[in-house]
A = this chain, B = another copy of it.
Amino acid sequence: MDIARIVELNAVYARAIDTEQFEEWPRLFHDPCLYKVTTADNVAKGMESGLIYADTRGMLEDRISSLRKVNIYEQQRYRHIVGLPVVLGQANGAAETETPFLIVRIMRDGKMEVFATGCYRDKVRLDAANTPRFAERIVICDGGRFDTLVAIPF
């Protein structure tokens, strides 16, 4: 798969979250899929379980519905800065890539802070309409102190 298409998928992903068009987010995945948020420490220790886990588009949609009900995201804003992907390999029609990210949180009063950094470890495959989507997105955070119950997608 052309790397330009992977870059584009990453850009669209970040924009869907930062513009709070959360309902667009599940559509960027295949169904079934794997979406997991974990930490570099957990990965280093071989711990498989994540802080957040979903393996269908329905589970991703449920997450967004909950988020909309809690409404807590309205008190802050997020900004993803996504770096350049490294292609690790191609297997079974999927490109395996790793892409660094930085998320800044902007509070209502204008205060800004680095909220999270890490890398996305992805498997990207084309769907029937030739659109690239995530078969897997494992979000590996460098640190790890998040209130994952009410978190926006990473």
Contacts and interface: CB of A to CB of B under 8 A. Distances in A.
Interface in A103-124: 104, 106, 110-114, 116-119
Contacts of A83: 11, 14, 80-82
Copies of this polypeptide in the complex: 3
B15 A86 contact: yes
Given A10-B84, A15-B86, A79-B100, 15 more contacts: A3-B4, A8-B86, A11-B83, A11-B84, A11-B86, A14-B84, A14-B100, A15-B100, A77-B143, A79-B102, A79-B118, A79-B142, A82-B84, A110-B143, A110-B145
A144 B110 contact: yes
Interface residues of A, number: 39
A77 B142 contact: yes
A22 B70 CA distance: 43
A4 B83 CA distance: 14
Interface of A: 3-4, 7-8, 10-12, 14-15, 18, 40, 77, 79-86, 98, 100-102, 104, 106, 110-114, 116-119, 142-145
